[in-house]
Amino acid sequence: MRKSIGMTVLAFATCIPIGVATGTAARTKGAAAQAAQTERQAVGKAFIPSDLDAQAALRQQDMTWYRGTEIGPDPDADGLKLELHTRIGQIFALHDPPSSPARLAHFAWLDRPDVKINGWYGTIKAVVQDGDHMLVRVQILPHLASESGAITSTTASYLETYAVSDDGVQFLGGEAPKTGPNFLMTD
């Protein structure tokens, strides 16, 4: 019995420093990631921290963080058209419509262990007023995150049509554009 108690005390005593050190390392890594995230927000999206633990933590965060749907105006839009497209983008951001099954099927080839779709972005291609709502044609592309931290993108896109009003966004239909082959690019 004494030997057993002695071994238990010895085992417990040796585990305490390991547990404390592990907890300290986790807190230090978490603090480094938090500091890097704060600095990233101040500097911008292209920020890469010098601390390797912070880089790994930010990569993991990028793989799991859902960015939502970001819709921007047509690059040629100006004046009232630019204001309208900006307002439509705000409505999309507010309501963040779910991805259609057809869009998900179109981008299924990107389903791989080292790459994750963590949101969507797009450009307004056309707007037509239709009674109390607008018919909006949007070219959608995926925001991609790479487990390695590399910048990852694709040439693939999907064309979708929505009914948009201040009350919400309703998916009406979509189709793959008639373009060449799709590529997955990483640096």
Domain boundaries defined on the chain? 2-61, 68-186
* Residue 11: pLDDT over 90: no
Average pLDDT over residues 163-180: 90
What integer best gives the mean pLDDT of the chain? 76
DSSP-derived 3-state class of residue 113: coil
Pull the structure tokens for residue 77.
């839009």
Dihedral of alpha carbons 62, 65, 66, 71, sign: negative
Share of the chain above pLDDT 70, in %: 65
According to DSSP, the β-strands at 184-186 and 152-154 are antiparallel
What pLDDT shows up at residue 139? 95
Question: Taking the CB of residue 143, how many other CB atoms lie within 10 A of it?
Answer: 19
What pLDDT shows up at residue 21? 36
Phi, psi dihedral angles at 55 (to 5 degrees)? -60, -45
Q: What are the pLDDT digits (tens) for 136-160?
A: 999 999 988 877 777 788 888 999 9
How many Å is the Cα radius of gyration of the chain?
24
* Residue 1: pLDDT over 70: no
Using 50, 70 and 90 to split pLDDT, how confident is the model at 45? low
45-59, 98-112, 142-156 — most confident range? 98-112
Using 50, 70 and 90 to split pLDDT, how confident is the model at 5? very low
Pairwise CA distance, residues 51 & 183, whole Å = 32
pTM: 0.64
Question: Taking the CB of residue 126, how many other CB atoms lie within 10 A of it?
Answer: 12
What pLDDT shows up at residue 48? 62
Average pLDDT over residues 56-60: 64
**Maximal CA-CA distance, the chain:** 87
Using 50, 70 and 90 to split pLDDT, how confident is the model at 124? very high
